[in-house]
Amino acid sequence: DADVTQTPRNRITKTGKRIMLECSQTKGHDRMYWYRQDPGLGLRLIYYSFDVKDINKGEISDGYSVSRQAQAKFSLSLESAIPNQTALYFCATSAGQGQYFGPGTRLTVL
Amino acid sequence: AQSVTQLGSHVSVSEGALVLLRCNYSSSVPPYLFWYVQYPNQGLQLLLKYTTGATLVKGINGFEAEFKKSETSFHLTKPSAHMSDAAEYFCAVSEAGSARQLTFGSGTQLTVLP
């Protein structure tokens, strides 16, 4: 079984809809991250969490929110999706040196 | 603040030829440095990392990278390219010790020609 899982893997939604992307990990890591990937821009950090009570904004947090439900679960929400949030979203975990990534969620906002 | 510059968004090599992917970083504190590989429709996989100690680090699939502080570089090499090496490669930097966040370069797409 994969160490970091993301659901859904693909999602198409409409402008203005609320959507949640979920991430679960079995690595036992305290640190979890959400990134988005756009062609030619690499990965940009949206939010990160170092434990259940610690949530931090990343480089591009506007329009996103997160919830750390447990050590193993970290969800990303788009309260009102817009087309420029169309991207590939990755969850990652870390124990301090290097990060381990999930397979990604491809989100399309029409 | 930290930043990463990957020179060349696309690199093509022939099968069996040397692979050289360039990465330069900027950091006001000692860095940790990483290379990740992304195969089509997959997440990122850690290839190798430099934290402390030996400046030449070896990773998976025959890749290695050398940390050169004076040149602020961490170039990725492989002596002989294989078709299976075709992928996108990302260099990343974090602060040594805390490693709170990774800052990624924009990526280099490697094509291996038969």
Nearest CA in chain B to A106: B41
Task: State residue B27's pLDDT score.
Answer: 84
User: Rounded mean pLDDT of A55-78?
Assistant: 95
pLDDT band at residue B98 using 50, 70 and 90 as cut-offs: low
The confidence band for B99, taking pLDDT boundaries of 50, 70 and 90, is low
Q: Which of B101, B103, B106, B109 to mutate to test the interface with A (most CBs of A within 10 A)?
A: B101
- Enumerate the residues of chain B whose CB falls inside 8 A of the CB of residue A42: 90, 104-107
Inter-chain touch B104–A43, beta carbons under 8 Å: yes
Candidates B46, B90, B99; nearest CB to A96: B99
- Contact across the interface for B106 and A41, Cβ inside 8 Å: yes
pLDDT digit string (tens) for B40-97? Answer: 888 899 999 998 889 999 999 999 999 999 999 999 999 999 999 999 999 999 876 6
| Among candidate residues B20, B28, B1, B31, the one with its CA nearest the CA of residue B78 | B20
Given an 8 Å threshold on Cβ–Cβ distance, is B43 in contact with A101? yes
- Strand, helix or coil for residue B86: coil
pLDDT higher than 60, residue A7: yes
- B35 in Cβ contact with B23 (< 8 Å): yes
Rounded to an integer, what distance in angstroms lies between the CA atom of residue B85 and that of residue B110? 7
Inform me whether the C-beta atom of residue B109 falls under 8 Å from chain A C-beta atoms. no
Q: In the prediction, which pLDDT does B97 show? A: 61
**Percentage of chain A lying above the pLDDT 90 cut:** 85
CA distances from B73 to A64, A68, A91 (A): 34, 36, 27
Contact between chains at B106 and A104 (C-beta distance less than 8 A): no
Q: What is the pLDDT of residue A97?
A: 75
The predicted pLDDT at position A2 comes to 66
| B102 touches A: beta carbon within 8 Å | yes
Q: Is B25 on the interface with A (CB under 8 A)?
A: no
